[in-house]
Structure 1
């Protein structure tokens, strides 16, 4: 073929994300958080310009909400105009958050922007110096959900160029509740399709599902909670003949992280405070970090630190002394006594078995079916369910040992 192209693959910008659950942060942090998706977009455009890419591929959920704000609309339009001034093209599809029928403003984007404007898979050519270099394939969601496998609609042409498929969807056998299963696909179908690159979106975890051809989730460009930890960004993709190279570029101005602390041998809360401060400092943030702490195996003599508010005071102190790292919340579990009652007679054995067999989804089903309740609920992932089970066991453990207190 003797051709080469370089492009950015990104997805799930979620401009104007409300960052639910973080409204109690100090105003300075809250302001930075609300600006973070827009700042990540600015960094994306700066990378595209500095690296002189041929085009940018954005695979769905550019906006976070059905009713887009003027700020989000104009920020994206301004970004496209900056790309146009450097003759950089953009290929855009919309997903389940910003589906076509929901959009608030007309898409008066500049000519360098190519939108997949239908739920039918289409192809858009990319020319460089009047030579056909690539064809980009994709579709947008017309409504909130696409429940069918769309892969059969992707039909590669016989043109001598790179063939790049974009797909905002979920691996069909994915065992997760973090994201709804939209536009499900099987990895084997993508690998056998004949395309040179599959640019995926929808799943916020960065992952390379296959390398021949490349099947890639870039993740989102800015984490939105402690479920989306670590650096977030995009991939720079270089394709030449039969070789494809990826380079991850971090973009997120704020990172979410989790830190686990083993409290089993703690005796002095002052020393604990110093230890945690050192651990937080060792994270060496290049950006601002929001951290969730988990205190594990808290000894019996240390339980009053939590029940009487000493840990809350410690967290306040840590947050006042750091400008780059903020502890947003914490969890704790005490050293279990369950081994003392799990084998304590038939009733207790059956109680323990019931804990192991509890189906959280089945218990919560009436809430999700309630016309008002479901507006305020989000899907529980595996970690959420485990937290609920652990808390239930913890409360049960407390009740069974009340006489010991």
Structure 2
């Protein structure tokens, strides 16, 4: 096999609205709203700098089916830059930006191939080798049937790559679209499977590679850690993958050691020191305060709802940097006081609640003709705050008495 080099990206979600984020300053809010576009610009810049043989974009180029106009314009400009550099692009649309969506459209340059809603297998000569790239775009939002049987088997003497925006049949954490089993992908004998749809970076196999690069820019607390894309080199059946970071704002869960904390000024100093030392360019942090003793945790639990978060945000306020605290949670592991059996059961249930559980529990309140219009949007950040506050109250009210 000849050596080829390409970039595998997915789930750009250009034009994400980031609705529901609270407590951000004007400049921070602007940075966050532009973050998906900034990450895309980094993808384009890296591609132009390194000049790979081609670029793959595996689904959900845009966040919505109406395809935000500003996002489309920026994307078209990026494709024009790659066209001028002679770099081919293969892209598919996913469940968020399916082909049946409305809105204005832009004419992309000739270097870009957009897959149809049926599987195509495109041929690309690269450095004396023949590369074939198979993929499809979503014709509608919900593609629930398997598409694997429509992918051709690999031919002898070529390099075969598959692009698939979908999820494993066994996935219980996400809505299952274009489902597949890993064994089905392996059975095609492809040299590389470029996956999209799951926003967590992961490798289902390395021989051959079956890879999710994750999304290009995190958009909420569940999409934490470094985000970006893969640069891939395939040589004689061997794959070398390098992750390239692209996010301009990072969401992160950060554990703070509070074993030396007795007073609030000490807590403020520790949090400030750790967050300012973080290597993210811009940071939205979900804090977990650990190693708290009984006296400190009771002191923190007595603080009115939200006041601790607001105070810490003020401590970190700096017009020259972007460090934002979204929530603060208290870790009670190792404390002498225990919950009653019912308290344990209730706290455990709340800790495992998902978005649909919150919506169901608060359905009547939000649908009430009078009160509903005054309530804030039930987004990820609000759910996290409600969850932390509810569990803290349960632990405080339902703790067993210390026999000492």
TM-score normalised by length of structure 2: 0.84
Flag the 1:360–1:318 CA change in 2: closer, same or farther, 3 A: closer
1:5-404 equivalences under 5 Å are 5-118=4-117, 120-128=118-126, 133-158=130-155, 160-176=157-173, 179-263=174-258, 266-285=261-280, 287-296=281-290, 297=292, 299-300=294-295, 301-303=298-300, 306-307=303-304, 311-312=308-309, 314-321=311-318, 323-333=320-330, 335=332, 342=340, 349=341, 352-353=344-345, 360=353, 366=360, 392-400=390-398
1:221 CA drift (Å):
0.8
Per mean C-alpha deviation after superposition, the further-off stretch among 150-159 and 349-358 is 349-358
Q: Does the 8 Å contact 2:43/2:246 carry over to 1?
A: yes
Q: Does the 8 Å contact 2:338/2:399 carry over to 1?
A: no
The whole-number CA distance in structure 2 between the counterparts of 1:263 and 1:320 is 21
Q: Does the 8 Å contact 1:306/1:312 carry over to 2?
A: no
Flag the 1:266–1:163 CA change in 2: closer, same or farther, 3 A: same
Flag the 1:231–1:64 CA change in 2: closer, same or farther, 3 A: same
- 1:162-196 CA deviation, whole Å, 9 max, x = no partner? 100000011221232xx311111111211121111
- 1:313-353 CA deviation, whole Å, 9 max, x = no partner? 531332224733423322233748895562xxxxxx46655
The whole-number CA distance in structure 2 between the counterparts of 1:122 and 1:340 is 60
1:388 CA drift (Å):
7.1
Q: Does the 8 Å contact 1:132/1:161 carry over to 2?
A: yes
The whole-number CA distance in structure 1 between the counterparts of 2:9 and 2:186 is 20
Q: Does the 8 Å contact 2:62/2:97 carry over to 1?
A: yes
Aligned alpha-carbon RMSD (Å): 3.3
Per mean C-alpha deviation after superposition, the further-off stretch among 196-205 and 393-402 is 393-402
Flag the 1:232–1:366 CA change in 2: closer, same or farther, 3 A: closer
1:105 CA drift (Å):
2.6
